[in-house]
Chains A and B, each alone.
Chain A
Amino acid sequence: MSAPLVLLPSDEVPREHLPSNKSNPLRLGPGLRLLSQPTSQAGDSNHVLTATQAGLLTTDAKRNTVSLLSFPNRRYVPTVNDLIIAQIHHSSIDFFHCIVTPNTAHALLGQLSFEGATKKTRPQLKQGELVYARVQSVGVGAGAEVELTCVNPATGKADGGLGPLVGGMVFDVSTGMAARLIRASSASPDNTDAVEGLVILGELGRKLESLGGFELAVGRNGKVWVDCSNAGESAIAVTVAIGRCLQETDQHNLHPHDQKKLVTRILRDLKLAS
């Protein structure tokens, strides 16, 4: 890979940075758009890739994608197939109206979009309860509504833990951190350590194994749900410790060895580690 390249709005993506995989069509990530060159001769469609945001250009030769990694603090914009953690705001006859990000229109989650849900067995979610859901559609055109689902439409099953999140606590992290956590966990389950410079989850897992471990769900919209109901009496302390570790790593953008130190310090502060 060549030297890191940071693009600003209106910068063109240099052709030599594009992956040279010809078998798949090139896929564009967020922050990039395809523009046609008006000055070119008619018939010869000359297209240029330009950035619309500031960010680090990354390419994936295997999947033939090119995308722009923008600032991690940005607001989440719903994209189809993203996993998110939504909070129920209110329910109507057919839908639950959910909050995905503050100050945006509610996303709709069908009352029957749960695994095995029928009119009689559908979950009775109240205001403030959480669901782990997938973005089903973002609609077309201006002001279209975002639709969520808690089942895989192909199988009708709740793959990957979709559905209501019971118990636990939610912590806010930046959208960039959420994306990192998701990438780190999906990359290679046996070697989560070095991926994306995040060792914190592996470290926490090792340290907290004796206390019963923990369950984690990461939403692309910058929310992390942590549950440690197995930890018994210290469940709350463990939950808070994990949340604090994640948030501090996020805010201070900690280096891997600082992350290890942080875990040790916080566990000591909360009297969880001997």
Chain B
Amino acid sequence: MVGPTASLSVLSRADGSASYKCPATGYNILGAVNGPVELPGRRDALKPEDATVEIFIKPGTTTGGVGERATETILKSVLGNLVLGREKGFPRRGVVLTLNIVGGENVERGDSYLTLLPALLHAGLLAMISASIPLSMTLSAALLGVTTSGDIVQNPGPAAAKSVVSLHVLAFSSKGHLLLNESRGRFDFDTWELVRARALSICQGAHDGDVAMGEGENAASVNAFIRETAEDQIYSDYAHKLDSI
């Protein structure tokens, strides 16, 4: 399986941006972050001492509908939870994240956004990192499906996701907290625990040993991938500084 690719600061006008491509599901997401900015209509009624995180999802070929609104709500509660909105310059301001679905199949009406969710989360996180929005932690997400035979498959594409018995998206913080779980389909709790263990090893690296053994393609964890992406960009941005050391 080919791993995902990502690059930071791809747009020059936005404060931060990232593009994230997942070959397994075929999704290509472009995320842009602007913040801290003044939001139209001050949200004094909401928490005035905190920053407001606004997230917009633009589908590739259509206009956004109720599905996008629901996904925005999910992303907002996950990513918004990581933003330290009380750091200097952020209270009462807004952080606006726009995620554009550049490539990949469209999600049909009433279909769950689960197959897209990890790509959206990663693109959103990388864009936030690129804009230097203060964050308490980073996150990593995994998409898993359980087939009729009980096998756990990683990153089923939109077509494959229709044939699985249950579909799960889990996101973990860089310290291993379960930040998000979205599960659909038919399953019992023991199956979910297996899925959770597998997802954790995908996100954090296979330190448990028992789950991801024998899978050579699973070498790099998602966490390591995010770290590498950020490091690469820092190294190239500060090449002038590092050369002199």
Contacts and interface: CB of A to CB of B under 8 A. Distances in A.
Interface of A: 1, 4, 6, 8-10, 31, 33, 52-56, 58, 69-75, 77-79, 102-105, 138, 141-143, 176, 180, 194, 196-198, 251, 253, 255-256
B158 interface: no
Contact of A8 (B38, B49, B129, B235): B129
A143 B242 contact: no
A169 B80 CA distance: 39
A4 B239 CA distance: 11
Contact of A143 (B91, B131, B239): B91
A221 to B, nearest CB: 12
Nearest to A68: B132
B220 interface: no
B204 to A, nearest CB: 13
B55 to A, nearest CB: 17
B231 A10 contact: no
B236 to A, nearest CB: 7
Contacts of B37: 75, 102-104
B48 interface: yes
Interface stretch (B82-90, B109-117, B188-196): B82-90
B243 A53 contact: no
Contact of A54 (B129, B136, B242): B129
A74 B136 contact: no
A66 to B, nearest CB: 15
Given A1-B245, A138-B88, A70 B132 contact: yes
B129 A9 contact: yes
Contacts of B201: none
A138 B9 CA distance: 28
User: Top 8 A-B pairs ranked by shortest CB distance?
Assistant: A197-B240, A142-B91, A77-B89, A52-B134, A9-B135, A143-B92, A74-B132, A75-B15
A102 B96 CA distance: 14
Contacts of A58: 241
A10 B226 CA distance: 13
Contacts of B244: 194, 197
A178 to B, nearest CB: 14
B16 interface: yes
Given A8-B227, A54-B132, A75-B36, A104 B238 contact: no
B91 A141 contact: yes
A103 B234 contact: no
A253 B138 contact: no
A31 B137 CA distance: 13
Contacts of A143: 42, 48, 91-93
